[in-house]
Amino acid sequence: MRILSGIQPTGKPHLGNYFGMMKPALELQEQGEAYLFIANYHALTTIADPTELRDNTRDVALDFLACGLDPKKTAFYRQSDVPEVTELTWLLACLTPMGLLERCHSYKDKTARGLPASHGLFSYPVLMAADILAVQSNVVPVGRDQKQHIEVTRDLAIKFNNQYGEVFTIPEPSIRDESAAIPGLDGQKMSKSYNNTIEIFGAPKEMKKKIMRIVTDSKALEEVKDPDTCTIFALYRLLADAEAQAELAARYRAGGMGYGDAKKALLAAFEEHFGPLLERREQLRQDMDYVEDVLQDGARCARALAAVTLQRARQATGLE
């Protein structure tokens, strides 16, 4: 089973990103033949500063390697290092109905939020389809907001195969479980848009300040508290083992514990989990030649598949 996932280089990862996308992506290494790419072509729809794009792309590579990506198990690469994808995008674009793209809610949502209505933003699903089909992926893990784009990919692959012959594998979506949104500092869903995030690789002193400002109710020290409705405990549950969770939950329900103590417990769990990863990231940052080698090796692996796919598509369409 070949599994493909991608991530845009759009900024510093926070706990919501880590548990919602990064950790599940890393777990793919043990489930099949894994491919993970940094979607820097896609990022051009929102990032106009070339320095920002380069820096963000480098940072994503550091983040994933520090968090445990194993280059021996996952082909990890920059999207822009696989040029076959862009040629394949054109072949797919030539049989993509306008109405199919006009029905994509992502374009409408993004333009409603103020992003320029560019051709790139409009045709984003075609490039995404080329990413997936180029490596003949069987499974694509996505959030519910991206499910429609996988449906577009399937439609295009089926239409191409019907018109030109069997060239593409028809991928299946694997919908990530996002039923339990990870809360931010204010209790809302953790999001850069809400400015309520806890960055996994932020400066330790700054992350301590953020954790200590998590919003709570006004219950006094001696009052009984409910861990199931507390943002602090919701975050602690992500980081601590079952025994530690049960112990802290009991302290909540017994009374006599202030939220300050709960925040200290969360901080300790956060530092225990991400402290070693932060050290690993700094070591990797001092050896960018290694990071570049990983990305180039991953690109060679992806290109080997993409080149075969593209040749078949070119032959099928009469270009060769």
Amino acid at 166: E
- Render pLDDT for 289-318 as a digit per residue (tens, 0 to 9): 999 999 999 999 999 999 999 999 999 999
Distance CA 252, CA 256 (A): 8
Model pLDDT, residue 179: 46
What is the pLDDT averaged over residues 179-208?
Answer: 91
Query: Is 193 a residue whose pLDDT tops 90?
Result: no
Residues with catalytic annotation? 110, 189, 192
Tens of pLDDT, residues 62-102: 999 999 999 999 999 999 999 999 999 999 999 999 999 98
pTM for the model stands at 0.92
The average confidence (pLDDT) of the chain is 94
Contact 137, 35 (CB under 8 A): yes
Long-range CB contacts for residues 194-198, cutoff 8 Å, separation at least 24: 197/14, 197/15, 197/16, 198/14, 198/15, 198/235, 198/270
Q: Is the pLDDT of residue 145 over 80?
A: no
Q: Are strands 74-78 and 33-38 parallel, antiparallel or unpaired?
A: parallel
Mean pLDDT of 211-223: 95
**What does 91-126 look like in DSSP terms, one character per residue?**
HHHTT--HHHHHT-HHHHHHHHTT----HHHHTHHH
The helix or strand, by DSSP H or E, that contains position 308, with its residue range, turns out to be: helix 288-317
Instruction: Please give the Cα distance from 52 to 79 (Å, whole number).
Output: 16
Q: For 181, left (φ over 0), alpha (ψ -120 to 50), or beta?
A: beta
Q: How far apart are CA 68 and CA 273, in angstroms?
A: 12
Domains along the chain with CATH numbers: 2-181+287-317 (3.40.50.620), 192-282 (1.10.240.10)
pLDDT of residue 160: 98
Percent of the chain residues topping a pLDDT of 70:
98
* Residue 141 bridge partners (DSSP): 174
Choose the weakest-confidence range: 23-37, 71-85, 135-149. Answer: 135-149
Which pLDDT band, with edges at 50, 70 and 90, does 266 fall under? very high
Distance CA 132, CA 98 (A): 20
What is the model's pLDDT at position 178?
55
Tell me the CA distances in angstroms from 88 to 1, 135, 246, one per residue in order.
Answer: 22, 11, 52
Q: For residue 207, give the nearest of 192, 197, 216 by alpha carbon.
A: 197
